[in-house]
Structure 1
Amino acid sequence: MSDGFLSQEEIDALLRGEPVAASPSPAGQDLSDIEKDALGEIGNISMGTAATTLSVLLGRRVSITTPKVSISTLNEIKRQYPLPYLVIEVGYTQGLLGTNILAIREQDALIIADLMMGGDGTNPPSELNELYMSAVSESMNQMMGSTATSISTIFKKKVDIAPPKVNLLDFAVDTDITNVVPGDEPLVRVSFRMEVEDLIDSELMQILPLNVAKEMVENLMNAVQQQASQAPPPPVASPKSATSTSTTTYAQPAPKPQSAQNVAVQPVQFAPLKPAGIPGADTNIGLIMDVPLQITVELGRTRKLIRDILELTPGSVVELDKLAGEPVDILANGKLIAKGEVVVIDENFGVRITDIISPLERANNLQ
């Protein structure tokens, strides 16, 4: 294929159902084997974290593995996968420049949405209505957030993203998947195998503009070099003797202990301990007297499915995990420090402290 037109031989091959070889990428618009391996490693780690996040949300075992990196175009992807896809577009706001696109088949998204709404995934809805779209969008948002966190760890710098944009597109009909990359411009496609127990065994696609992919590789290489430069030097081996043939000495052998008969043994003596005050204790506590603490009174907690939360309306009653009249929790910066009871003081609510949490209880709360 040249100048965007098919030759007669290529047309005949398409009519026979045979694949047509893609044109080679122009210079500078391809990836080396090392770059592909690096992108596969980044995808393997980041999608592993995303799988863990999705597993927690769905309550099912999720596996996202086997990344395959290739150069493609949006037009080629549309020809190869003429199916409805849920497309998640994420823009980087810190640490990287550009956009990351994730594409998941609609049928897989329907199963995920059904699990998010409390179903068992065996009888998913026939289409993604507004309610199910909100549920699956939340799961994708959590996945991409965890992916950004893992990338930050890999690159050893903060990487942040904007809220994802989620759209349902039919690759067989819709002309524009995204306006980030033209349809005929080379991009990087990373394909993953996604499994959700016995419900999903499918392919998940990550689509990256070429410049974003190369920037990721560069960040990974820089992080590896930084780690190598900070590593301690290897131990220096002692020079081998002229007759040494098989071993290298790294440390001198310890000297043999002296005979017990030549050692004088005396009882150990310690100076008497005297109680001593802690000088400057009042001064030290004074250094933090003006540090603000956020005090929160918690009436109770509850856990609900996304389906139940989306059905909340003005006037709905949310049942908490505490009985009426039970002590409320008092927290300082999110840590439980005391319990108390609600009182009314001059038409204002207040809390009377009835119990201070012991140090042992505070330590247990840290677990």
Structure 2
Amino acid sequence: MMSDMLSQEEIDALLNGTASTENSEQTEHKPQVEDFLTSMERDTLGEIGNISFGSSATALSTLLSQKVEITTPEVGIIERQRLKDEFPHPYVAIQVKYTEGFSGTNVLVIKQADAAIIADLMLGGTGENPEQELGDIHLSAVQEAMNQMMGSAATSMSTVFSKRIDISPPNVSLLNIMEGEGTENLPEQDLLVKVSFRLMIGNLIDSKIMQIVPLTFAKSLVSELINENASSESSIQETAAAQEATLVQEIKVEAEQQTQTQQEQNVQPAVFTNFETASPQLEMKNLDMLLDIPLQVTVELGRTTKTVKEILEMGPGSIIELDKLAGEPVDILVNNQLIAIGEVVVIDENFGVRVTDIVSKKDRLKKLN
């Protein structure tokens, strides 16, 4: 009879095996951001966050009289049913609804301890020993700080999307998902996009502030921004084509009028000098009328080609490698036309360029044409 009973080791092994199976199933079903957002969509959402929260950091810094930094965001996907895994501790949720420009909601989530420091600073404290229990007055202070942040972010987004964007006053509530508190202010959609920023306020806070939006709303932002850029480019091309067609038509009409006038008055057409066969004296005579016109002189150290992603990833301290070797001659351009070759020199405390080679006079006249 004793042989039919399981030992404690066998019971533990069975329990561990079950837990491992459950953990593996959870891992397998955990959504990955690349399954729902392309690399371009993630970069676009990150750039929108960079621009909007960059201005928000300035507004918050002025409000708190502290240095505020909000760093480059990270974009991820979370399921609503797994919010307790993403936010296991007490947080403060700030819900904002768009009243103009967009139709959707945006929720900011910060740790309750960070909210307490912000509230203490808003109420005239130092932020070093804030009250951890947030009362109505503390939540009101946090609400005003977030209102200033989101208002500044909406202004920046208006510039990005080329239209007026306005928001409702933020709704602030305590968020404790483990106890089911405050979840009513979170988006109801099953799939949510989480954009996490590193938030640093003086020496008081080095934490995260997270932006939660529905996946459908995030995709609509990306789509509208891309379509807006495409429409602007198409509009510019269409305008340029229309202007070109109008100019061609005007030239054609003017040429016909001149031809008709010449025929009526029996006037010989003007003969213009060919620069390729003109004598030096005649060339200088023709150039006398142009000698006082200012031209833009540019010295080109080198060139390179970068992708949009590489440009967006640039920051202070980034190094751009050019297509020329150190000490190699530089190009001297006049009105974006290559005129001469030179080498870089130092004159007192300023840079200069010594001309080492120059294109022929005939080629220069062609480039000025």
What secondary structure sits across from 2:110 in the alignment? strand
Where 1:190 maps in the other structure, the secondary structure is strand
> How far off its partner does 1:75 sit?
2.9
Q: SS state of the match for residue 40, structure 1?
A: helix
Aligned to 1:191: 196
Equivalent in the alignment of 1:162: 168
Q: Please give the secondary structure, in 1, of the residue aligned with 2:184.
A: coil
CA apart distance, 1:230: 5.2
Structure number, greater radius of gyration: 2
Match of 1:99 in 2: 105
Say whether 1:51 aligns with 2:57. Answer: yes
Contact 2:147–2:170, Cα closer than 8 Å, also in 1: yes
Q: Deviations over 1:64-94 (max 9, x none)?
A: 1121111112332321321111101111111
Query: Which residue, out of 34, 40, 52, partners 2:46?
Result: 40
Which amino acid in 2 is paired with 1:258?
K
The equivalences for 1:55-204 within 5 A come to: 55-174=61-180, 177-178=183-184, 181-182=187-188, 185-204=190-209
CA shift at 1:222, angstroms? 2.2
Instruction: Measure, in 2, the Cα distance between the counterparts of 1:256 and 1:136.
Output: 74
Offset, 1:211: 1.5
1:258 aligns with 2:264: no
Summarize deviations over 1:11-32 as a string: whole Å, max 9, x none. Answer: 32668xx894252659x98222
TM-score when normalising by structure 1: 0.57
Letter in 1 for 2:234: S
Given the alignment of the two structures, is residue 217 of structure 1 paired with residue 185 of structure 2, yes or no? no
The alignment's TM-score, normalised by the length of structure 2, stands at: 0.57
State the Cα distance separating 1:109 from its structure 2 match.
Answer: 0.6
Q: How many residues matched?
A: 235
What is the DSSP-based 3-state SS (H/G/I as helix, E as strand, rest coil) of the residue aligned with 1:102?
Answer: strand
Alignment counterpart, residue 11 of structure 1, candidates 19, 43, 58? 19
Which one has a larger percent helix, Structure 1 or Structure 2? 2
Structure 2 counterpart of 1:198, one-letter code: N
The code of the aligned residue for 2:70 comes to I
Structure 2 residue runs of 5 or longer lacking an equivalent are: 1-15, 241-274, 277-281, 290-369
Decide whether the 8 Å contact of 1:29 with 1:186 is kept in 2.
no
Once the two structures are superposed, residues 188-246 of structure 1 have per-residue CA deviations (whole angstroms, 9 ceiling, x without a partner) of 1111110112111101110001111011111211232234335577xxxxxxxxxxxxx
Paired with 1:230 and 1:84, the residues of 2 have a C-alpha distance of 50
Whole-Å separation in 2 of the counterparts to 1:176 and 1:228: 44
TM-aligned CA distance change 1:259 to 1:209, over 3 Å: closer
Q: Classify the secondary structure of the residue corresponding to 1:172.
A: helix
Alignment-derived partner of residue 338 in structure 2: none
The residue identity in structure 1 corresponding to 2:65 is: G
Deviations 1:276-311 (A, max 9, x none): xxxxxxxxxxxxxxxxxxxxxxxxxxxxxxxxxxxx
Q: Distance in 1 between matches of 2:30 and 2:82?
A: 13
- Structure 1 pair 104/12, CA: closer, same or farther in 2 (3 Å)? same
SS of the residue aligned with 1:178?
helix
| Alignment RMSD | 3.4
Pair 1:9–1:165, CA change in 2 (3 A): farther
Return closer, same or farther for 1:256/1:108 CA change in 2, 3 Å cut-off.
farther
Question: Relative to structure 1, is the Cα distance of residues 125 and 175 closer, same or farther in structure 2, using a 3 angstrom cutoff?
Answer: closer
Distance in 2 of aligned mates of 1:130 and 1:60: 24
Check conservation: 2:101, 2:164, Cα contact below 8 A: yes
Call closer, same or farther: CA 1:176–1:132 in 2, change over 3 Å: closer
Q: How much has 1:144 moved relative to structure 2?
A: 1.0
Determine the structure 1 residue equivalent to 2:363. Answer: none
**Residue segments in structure 1 that go unaligned for 5+ positions in a row:** 1-7, 234-251, 264-367
Alignment match, 1:359: none
Deviates more, 1:218-227 or 1:137-146: 218-227
Partners of 2:86 and 2:19 lie apart in 1 by 16
